[in-house]
Structure 1
Amino acid sequence: MHKLNFRKVSTSLPEINKKKIDFFNLNIHNLPPSRNIYFYSNNYSVPIKKYILNKKIQKIILDFENAIELDQINEEGISTFFDTIKIVYKEIGKVVLVALIIFMFSRQFFQNYQVSGMSMEPTFYNNDLIFVNKLVQKSIPMKWIPFFESERWYIRENIKAGDSVVFKYGSKNVEKFLVKRVVAVAGQTVEYQNGIVKVDGKIIQKLDTNNNYIKLTSEFKKMIVPERSIFVLGDNVYNSFDSRFWGFIKTYQVYGKTEFIYWPKDRMGKIEHSVQYDLGK
């Protein structure tokens, strides 16, 4: 708020007449661009309604229709301050809202996870931070729709043998996310006997049967991977809780395919996908 002194008054200010406009000849070289400038006379503050600019300001037209008493000035100053705060918070709110929309939209395509444990070493180590591509698999439960033939509507199915994927495992009361390697998909054959893992008759893992951990796993003869199912193993097969214990995983349990390690810095990089042969031997 700027207080300007009158040099010459063209007419004396009578008691405020809301319909009357008085003109003042001012010796002012610069006028701030804001219209929050007030002229003080007697007990009133009169705001600018319009001003005429030449090389030097010659006249300022005052708006007496909006004149306020001087004892209201401090209150108005406080209101202006709070109005400024409101504007700042409003702009911050817009930025936060846009960021939130972008965040929620991006979560439909990518998700970050933290690796826990050693079952995927040396591909992933404990506490690695990874990005997962959620575009490879997407399905929607359809049980709630009467007469719908399938329990789920599969929108995208692009899981391949060799992919390392994140999926949900466990009961509703104890659910957790795991990361494992897909070694066989629907239609392929898989068998696990005497420490040997075969996919389509080809040996992909030959393990030490004297290892105490391997002794805990469940062997099975050749089986065909069911429709919309996968068989998964940990890259560290001597320390992995995987399909050797609990069999096949449904593809709708898959949340996405691992794409990128973004922490720690020295391991940052894109993840290569391929079936691991004889890893952990």
Structure 2
Amino acid sequence: MNFALFMLIALLLTGGIWLLDHLWLRKSRALGAKEPVLVEYSKSFFPVILAVFLIRSFLVEPFKIPSGSMMPTLLVGDFILVNKYTYGLRVPVLNNTFLEVKHPQRGEVMVFRFPKDPSLDYIKRVVGLPGDRIEYRNKQIMVNGQPVAQQENGYYEYVAPGLNQVSVRRLQEQLGEHRHDILIDDNNPALDGEITVPEGQYFVMGDNRDNSNDSRFWGFVPDRNVVGRAFMIWWNFDNLGRIGTTIK
């Protein structure tokens, strides 16, 4: 079950029991009689659930990085915070925008509900905005006919699934106003193509370009699937030095 939906059900259940007791049930109890356990727990948990629900829905929401598709920016095991109001306030569960603030910008790291299965949360970098013509040729992005600036930045080694040691090229890329590192594996074939991003949708890619399941494979991210902008790593059990790192 979607966690937001679970929280909403818990909120309505505890709040409903509390309200029912306040308006009717307590009037039938003997003076000084102890509250039923269900009522006692509902009154205790309702304010906590309400606070968590409001914070997660409109301010920030925590996520854990499950894969290496965004390396080297984000590592497996990073716990990140996502700004929920940067792209506008949305109705909890339904995810419809009721107050627009700004739209995702090229180069931002965005969390969204996977279009093929909205119960899954994905995180990728925004590459194409509505109306953009995106080309990917020989592992080089071109936006509206202009190549995205890249600069060699040495090599990067990591352990891939199956305990295989992998060494790939590390490049610094300038995408919009965002300068960040990406990984290129020359042993993997390039997935070349050209496409125009439809209105109300976004083209996204992982920073680990040759090991990312992204828009090149399953298409665009509709605006209604957008969750928020990732902005900080708040915890990593294996690397405490990453705590507090800003996501570029």
Higher RCO, Cα 8 Å, sep 6+ = 2
Task: Work out whether residues 198 and 204 of structure 1, in 8 Å CA contact, stay in contact via their aligned partners in 2.
Answer: no
Work out the percentage of aligned pairs sharing the same amino acid. Answer: 30
The whole-number CA distance in structure 1 between the counterparts of 2:51 and 2:136 is: 45
The whole-number CA distance in structure 2 between the counterparts of 1:119 and 1:107 is: 25
Where does residue 45 of structure 2 map in the other structure? 96
The whole-number CA distance in structure 2 between the counterparts of 1:246 and 1:87 is: 52
The whole-number CA distance in structure 2 between the counterparts of 1:208 and 1:112 is: 29
Where does residue 64 of structure 2 map in the other structure? 114
Task: Work out whether residues 131 and 197 of structure 2, in 8 Å CA contact, stay in contact via their aligned partners in 1.
Answer: yes
Q: Deviations over 1:168-222 (max 9, x none)?
A: 11435x842111011221132211123221123123468868522x44x3x223x
Task: Work out whether residues 135 and 193 of structure 2, in 8 Å CA contact, stay in contact via their aligned partners in 1.
Answer: yes
Q: How does 1:135-146 map to 2 (within 5 A)?
A: 135=85, 136-137=87-88
What SS does the aligned partner of 1:187 have? coil
- Which structure 1 residue ranges, 5 or more long, are not aligned? 1-78, 141-151, 274-281
Where does residue 266 of structure 1 map in the other structure? 241
Pair 1:182 & 2:126 matched: yes
The whole-number CA distance in structure 2 between the counterparts of 1:106 and 1:272 is: 20
Q: Which amino acid aligns with 2:246?
A: I
Q: Which amino acid aligns with 2:109?
A: S
Task: Work out whether residues 112 and 226 of structure 2, in 8 Å CA contact, stay in contact via their aligned partners in 1.
Answer: yes
Where does residue 256 of structure 1 map in the other structure? 228
The 3 A distance-change label for structure 1 pair 236 and 137 is farther
Pair 1:194 & 2:143 matched: no
Task: Work out whether residues 206 and 212 of structure 2, in 8 Å CA contact, stay in contact via their aligned partners in 1.
Answer: yes
Larger radius of gyration: 1
- What's the offset of the Cα at 1:237? 1.0
Q: Deviations over 1:136-186 (max 9, x none)?
A: 14567xxxxxxxxxxx767425211111011111435x8421110112211
- Which structure 2 residue ranges, 5 or more long, are not aligned? 1-29, 151-170, 172-182
The whole-number CA distance in structure 1 between the counterparts of 2:232 and 2:186 is: 36
The whole-number CA distance in structure 1 between the counterparts of 2:125 and 2:47 is: 36
What SS does the aligned partner of 1:108 have? helix
Where does residue 105 of structure 1 map in the other structure? 54
Task: Work out whether residues 186 and 226 of structure 1, in 8 Å CA contact, stay in contact via their aligned partners in 2.
Answer: yes
What SS does the aligned partner of 2:110 have? strand
Where does residue 179 of structure 2 map in the other structure? none
The 3 A distance-change label for structure 1 pair 99 and 230 is same
Give the TM-score normalised by the residue count of structure 2.
Answer: 0.59
The CA RMSD over aligned residues, in Å, is 3.3
- What's the offset of the Cα at 1:266? 2.4
Pair 1:167 & 2:112 matched: yes
Where does residue 159 of structure 2 map in the other structure? none
The 3 A distance-change label for structure 1 pair 171 and 248 is closer
Task: Work out whether residues 125 and 205 of structure 2, in 8 Å CA contact, stay in contact via their aligned partners in 1.
Answer: yes
Give the TM-score normalised by the residue count of structure 1.
Answer: 0.53
